[in-house]
Amino acid sequence: MRRRDLLASLLVQPPIGVGFLGSEHSHFAGKKKVFEGSPAYKLIGVTGHDDSALLDDPAVQLIVVECPIEIAIRQGRKVIAAGKHLHLEKPPGNQLGPFVELVEEARRKQLHLQTGYVWRWHAGISAALEAARRGWLGDVFLVRGTMNADRTPAQRLAEARFGGGAMFELGGHMIDRAVDLLGRPKSVKPYLRHDSKSNDKLADNTLAVLEFDRALAVLTVADRMAGSGQHRSFEVLGEDGSFIVYPERNPPTMSVHMRRAQGPYRAGWQEITLPPQPRFMGDFEEMARSIRTNTPLTPTYDHEILLQETLLRASGELL
């Protein structure tokens, strides 16, 4: 059954009860809007960190944790202990061991666990990865991504709590897709610089180089770029073809080059405009599918662990 047909069939079932534990994360408003407009879900409530109402409510099947990074794993443990499926905001803490323990407990209890990286279901990036997997690009030798931002002084201070700074805050969005395609890197080399004149300790000009057997991933995050959304990009380059995706342009676009015609793509360069790519919808469509069919999420538990490990290595939190 095609994904679209499967999702349509799920809508005739009773809605999934969902609640928020915390509301401080910048993604909270967008995710709340998705649930309010989705017939697949019923938003039951939003509570604070110490409120057990949602955890004790049998009508709640999924809890979305939107709390500060420092308490993310602790809150996630509460959700899994209560027997609820978990969507955990990114980045899920700055330690590997506690996150692995959380994932393994969810796996043991057969509960879904999903982290909130925003390019996971982007059609342009997914098209690039599909082309690579089908062999249309030949041997892939480089993945390159940029996800800059333009932070306020208050946002800078919040991000400076962690040594990885800008890379720790935003790099996971790109790492998510890089390791999905290329697997576990052989080495990860972080460059975490404070290059602005701001009177804080934020690593605001950052780079991570991920080395694989036959490829590199070069990922950059800086926190002081005006107009950064239009500049954000993700590239997959191979010997026979290349994708350059601009996921957050309005409209999102991608430039594709093929040495020879492959699949829907002609030989040579072509500019492709994509339809709107609303954030968060893909995550919760996938979660609804998994809950309804009692089948595993994509990505897997193992992917979530590899992603967290690689992010912590790229942001200097794990040597």
DSSP-assigned states of every residue in the chain: --HHHHHHHHTTSPPEEEEEE---STTHHHHHHHHHT-TTEEEEEEE-TT--HHHH-TT--EEEE---GGGHHHHHHHHHHTT-EEEEPSS--S-SHHHHHHHHHHHHTT--EEE--TTTT-HHHHHHHHHHHTTTT-SEEEEEEE---B--HHHHHHHTTSTTHHHHHHHHHHHHHHHHHH-S-SEEEEEEE--SS-SS----EEEEEEE-SS-EEEEEEESB-TTHHHH-EEEEEESSEEEEEETTSSS-EEEEEESS-BTTB-SEEEEEEPPP--TTHHHHHHHHHHHHHT---SS-HHHHHHHHHHHHHHTTS--
CATH number for the domain harbouring residue 97: 3.40.50.720
Residue 27 and residue 147 share a domain: no
Residues 58 and 135 in one domain: no
Are 49 and 168 within one domain?
no
Q: Which residues pair with 190 in a beta bridge?
A: 208
3-state secondary structure 50-102: CCCHHHHCCCCCEEEECCCHHHHHHHHHHHHHCCCEEEECCCCCCCCHHHHHH
Q: Are residues 78 and 172 in the same domain?
A: no
Residue 113: CB atoms within 10 A of its CB come to: 24
Q: For residues 107 and 217, state if they share a domain.
A: no
Count the residues in the chain.
319
Residue 245: strand pairing partners: 234, 254
Distance in angstroms (rounded) separating the CA atoms of residues 238 and 139: 5
Question: Is there a single domain that holds both residue 288 and residue 263?
Answer: no
Asked, for residue 319, whether it belongs to a domain, the answer is no
Residue pair 131/228 in contact by the 8 Å Cβ criterion: no
Do 219 and 140 belong together in one domain? yes
**Total count of domains within the chain:** 2
Residue 270 lies in a domain: yes
- On whether both 175 and 246 belong to a single domain, the answer is yes
In a domain, 313, yes or no: no
308 lies in a domain?
A: no
Do 181 and 57 lie in one domain? The reply is no
Domain that holds residue 80: 3-116+282-299
Give me the pLDDT at residue 50, please: 78
Same domain, 192 and 254: yes
Residue 182 lies in a domain: yes
Question: Which residues, 6+ apart, have CB-to-CB distance to 39 below 8 Å?
Answer: 11, 15
Q: What is the pLDDT of residue 2?
A: 65
CB burial of residue 18 (10 Å; 0-12, 13-18, 19+): buried
Q: Establish if 175 belongs to a structural domain.
A: yes
CATH number at residue 225: 3.30.360.10
pLDDT of residue 9: 61
Co-location of 261 and 292 in the same domain: no
- The reply to whether 62 falls in a domain is yes
Neighbours of 81 (CB within 10 A): 11
Q: Is residue 9 part of a domain?
A: yes
Residues 270 and 130 in one domain: yes
CA atoms within 13 A on the CB side of 305: 13
Instruction: From first to last of the 319 residues of the chain, give the pLDDT tens digit.
Output: 566 666 566 557 899 999 999 999 999 999 999 999 999 999 999 998 778 899 999 999 999 999 999 999 999 999 999 999 999 999 999 999 999 999 999 999 999 999 999 999 999 999 999 999 999 999 999 999 999 999 999 999 999 999 999 999 999 999 999 999 999 999 999 999 999 999 999 999 999 999 999 999 999 999 999 999 999 999 999 999 999 999 999 999 999 999 999 999 999 999 999 999 999 999 999 999 999 999 999 999 999 999 999 999 999 999 8
Q: Which tokens hold the place of 179?
A: 């390791």
pLDDT of residue 276: 96
